[in-house]
Amino acid sequence: MIYLTRRYRFSAGHRLHNDSLSQEENRRVYGKCNNPNGHGHNYLLEVTIAGSIDPATGMIFDLVELDGIVNERVLDKFDHKNLNLDMENFRALVPTTENLCLEIYRLLRGPLEEAGAERSMQLSRVRLEETSLNSFEYVPENAGGR
């Protein structure tokens, strides 16, 4: 099994707020991230795929194709957006980086695995760095032996 990890960057704003909590609870749970005007991050996204090497190309996956899928499915949708206001799926779901990481995995899994089906390639991991101190990753249970 070979793993390929590619990095991408995007910027987005959000407000961490749960309408089912009181104002006091929201402030306690989310602190300064509950600012009514929101705040933003310059996210670093890592996408890891697992598979075998194609004997004809010597590669696990075509990087141009990978970039195209990530651009279309993630970067074009999230970059320079307010996650709460511009993203339908985060109108009812708190746009924490944990939830954002899982949503990115969901958006990429089908298209990437379909594109790499003949080599049994799979999306192995999505890692999202919110700040130099915080990063989150989603690794499914069946992720290529990881």
Q: Which domains are present in the chain?
A: 2-138 (3.30.479.10)
User: Does the predicted model carry a pTM greater than 0.85?
Assistant: yes
**Catalytic residue from among 65, 130, 137, 141:** 130
Our answer to whether residue 80 is catalytic in this structure is yes
Our answer to whether residue 33 is catalytic in this structure is yes
- The DSSP annotation for 20-69 comes to TS-HHHHHHHHGGGG-TT-EEEEEEEEEEEEE---TTTSSSS-HHHHHHH
Question: What are the pLDDT digits (tens) for 123-138?
Answer: 999 999 999 999 999 9
Given a cut of 70, whether residue 100 has pLDDT beyond it is: yes
What is the number of other CB atoms lying within 10 angstroms of the CB of residue 52? 12
**Catalytic residue from among 25, 72, 80, 114:** 80
**Catalytic residue from among 33, 98, 113, 137:** 33
Q: How does the average pLDDT of the chain come out, rounded?
A: 94
Mean pLDDT of 51-69: 93
What integer pLDDT is reported at residue 144 of this predicted model?
Answer: 53
Our answer to whether residue 130 is catalytic in this structure is yes
